[in-house]
Amino acid sequence: MGLDVDWAVRWLTLSAEAMAEHRVELIELDRPIGDSDHGENMDRGFKAVMDKLAESPPETAGAALKLTAMTLMSKVGGAAGPLYGTAFLRAATALGDTADIDAGTLAAALQAARDGIVARGKAESGDKTMVDAWTPAVDASAAAAGEGDVRKVLAAAADAAEAGAVSTDPMLARKGRASYLGERSIGHRDPGAVSSALILRAAAGAAE
């Protein structure tokens, strides 16, 4: 069983619900090491995505992700808008017009999303950014893709992203606003890694 546009819309819907539910948590995570606005920005951005999807329902999963990319770029402030916008745009390009997404295509789309984030943010693993959630997710999804089950690909990605977000706690921030804090950034979880894990968990939930 592959994934189609209904899965993509459900993924985005669950992502929007997760951003609303965890808005305050993301704000609190961002307060010590950022601008305290990550939760607000992500919630606003995904509410706008829901509005756009209702206005012009997409015909393919790729179209849904492209619409999401454009909306997040225009509605989400700070670094998150361009980073997530690039991620969704690269994933949309990887999917193209595919109507039935198989495990290999799905893993490739996740890698394209991560590569977009790396290209845009110039961050790598260990810098205490969303890359620390995305890279283990991509690695886990690639390993699971061989079994040919899209649900296993997404579940593996979500599990790895959640572990990756937790792994940012002891890291010294080397990128973004948090890097200005030096040693004081240690002991705080990266909010972008947490929102990334929420989005990837939503993708897995949408496939169930």
- Buried residues in 30-64 as b, exposed as e (16+ CB within 10 A): beebbeebbbbbbbbbbebbbebbeeeebebbbbb
CATH number for the domain spanning 132: value is 1.25.40.340
| pLDDT of the residue at 176 | 86
What tens digit of pLDDT does each residue of 145-162 get? 999 999 999 999 999 999
Largest CA distance in the chain: 48
Backbone torsions φ then ψ of 120, nearest 5 degrees? -75, -45
Domain count, the chain: 1
pLDDT at 12: 98
Listed in sequence order, the residues at least 6 apart from 51 whose beta carbon sits closer than 8 Å to its beta carbon are none
Q: Are 8 and 58 in contact (CB under 8 A)?
A: yes
Q: Is the pTM of this model over 0.85?
A: yes
Tens-place pLDDT, residues 52-101: 999 999 999 999 999 999 999 999 978 899 999 999 999 999 999 999 99
Domain residues for 81? 5-207
Q: Count CA within 13 A, CB hemisphere, residue 141.
A: 31
Q: How many CB atoms lie within 10 A of CB 13?
A: 16
